[in-house]
Structure 1
Amino acid sequence: MAGDFNEVLMGNDKFGGRAVNISRALRFQECIDFCRMIDIGFSGTRFTWLNQRPLTNLIQERIDKVFVNAEWNGLFPKASVQHLERAHSDHCPVLLWLNRSQDVKFPRPFSLLANVADPPGLPEDSRIWNKNIFGNLFHRKKRVLARLGGIQAALSVNPNTVLVDLERDLRAEFNEIAKLEEEFWAMKSRITWLVEGDRNTSFYHTSASVRRRRNRISCMKDSVGNWIQGEREIADYIRKGFSNLFTSGHSYAFRSAWNPPFWNHCLNKAEAETLVRPVSNDDITAGLWSLKAFKAPDPDGLHAGFFQRFWLLVGDSVREEVKGIFASGRIPVYLN
């Protein structure tokens, strides 16, 4: 659903003129929620309409929008909206991309699901284990559904004990895959406030898709106001920005600023002693359990929930590693 809705949803969708009518904006939002539609965002200039008046009377609004429902969002997860340059109208053209090609393909990180049963042994390369032992979740689901359809069709023609048992086993396998799929989308959506045990796969899927679209950078404005498009150009601009941020043109620092004896003490004796005492097992355990289970996994894909669940197996190794880091004052390269 796309077009000129002649109404804004929030205050930052308008510049100049009268303040946004809160009552009308709320009714508009209630209508969108009732229809279960999603605003898929945009790239380019923020406002899609302006009244072409001088600055003192200038009014700009974002009133041209694209809304989709969850089913359409699932069919076109890479869809994006681009606001093009305004030329012959007071509205800017709105371009809907259904599947915009990517210039740069980044490797997808491995992530361990919460409901994976105790594995017979994790190999060093968890990606190989994920592919060979656990398998692709969506391929498994598609394969099981195809087999289940064939078995049920055969049952309707020539029922027998073998088919009945096989159909029961496939249904059990499908339920297991459905539970894994729910946890997969729950982990991606970063939602932790829903009641545990509810079957919200569709909601999690939509939330994860919206989050992925919101985090995608389609274009970026440089320091002089020009729009940069294309993933490779954006990546180069970001890399150059961080390089300039953490690079200094000074070749030395004044020694007068380095005079520790005249600095004010910030810690008392008891506090200072806590910083130099050896780290204990209780400290390590408390630190691990203070982390969210499925937030921000390491580069190897093993989030804190993995160590919490298999603590009886990996606890001794983790404690030894952490104590070694505190004793040496160095973090090994493979951990950093």
Structure 2
Amino acid sequence: MASLGYFLDFNHYASNANQGGKLWVFWNIPNIFEILRCTTQTVSGWFKWDVHRVFVTFVYAKCSYVDRRELWHDIEEWTDLDQPWLVLGDFNVIRRYSERVGGNPQPFISTLEFNDCIDRCGLLETSSSGQRMSWYNGHGGVSRSWAKLDRVLMNNFFASLFPSAHFNYLSRKSSDHCPMVVCYDQLPISYGPSPFHFLNMWCSHDGFIMCVKEAWNQQDAVSGLLKLSVRLKRTKIALRAWNKNVFGRVDVNIRALEERLDFLESQLQSGFSEEIEDDFVATKTEIEIWEKREASRLGQIAKKNWLTEGDQNSKFFHSTINQRRNKGHINKMVLADRRVLNTAEEVHEEAVVFFRNFLSDVSAVEHCDFSRLIEKKISNEENLWL
């Protein structure tokens, strides 16, 4: 095997052959793999590259579900590891019946024990691309079968450190299994303007309505829904500037007022002054106003978080949610004419062109009168004002 490593251009290797296994791990400097333990079905150790350090368990499972029980026990021994952990390889068992096509069904107990091991270890399924099934028996006719026997699992520490981690099933060549390549991408840089958030505490300020009126009532050269869009955008810009000038950092304002209150209180303790007394009462009242605004802001944020997260607050839950969110990133888009858009800017520009052409095609628009179907919610005067 040392000669095979040399042939593959790897100068370091490890194996569980002495334990009766069939696993071989190859690596090159400057990458480092420190073996911690070998069993008949696993090779475990620390894999180090750049500044990263990840505990990896390589798996080559037995074919019998009875023999695999030893594997599940070996994996579960690392459950309390508070470090990034990756478990990958050929598990020789599926997690659900949809992961097998053709052939004889596996015993239900084998799938149940595999899933129980994953749950007890708090492992997550890493997303994959490429082939849907990783193993093919090479038979012909009705005895041909496929199954997803190879996979990559990770704990929540790994998912937090590498939120974009995924693996690819490459094409099968001489083996009946698909090679797997684990990789992680740089998360895409945020594109476009930041979303506008309305803060309820603004309504408690006397200048809020005036700020909105000044922005809304300016004359516009456009009409219809475009006029509404222009006014909404202008009001949003005005409110952002107004919020920065009037509220600034609420917590900083409260801290400054508290320091002033302590100073005035010390002056009153030295000697009574009606002017200082009035200033003290006014400052105290102002602090109460600002604290109510801060409570309103924090309460709004808390409600928003609860609506999106519910009462689930475990690390495992958040790791799972992060994996789902990361799948929503669009790295590229393939159009019907086979053109490929590789950046967010290209996707944006193509969307603008598409909707400009779509909305300007008068022949494709059918004009219908829906006035009898729509109930009036505002008066004609209110409509003209808007």
TM-score using structure 1 length: 0.47
Structure number with bigger Rg? 2
TM-score using structure 2 length: 0.41
Using CA pairs below 8 Å that are at least 6 residues apart, which structure has the higher relative contact order? 1
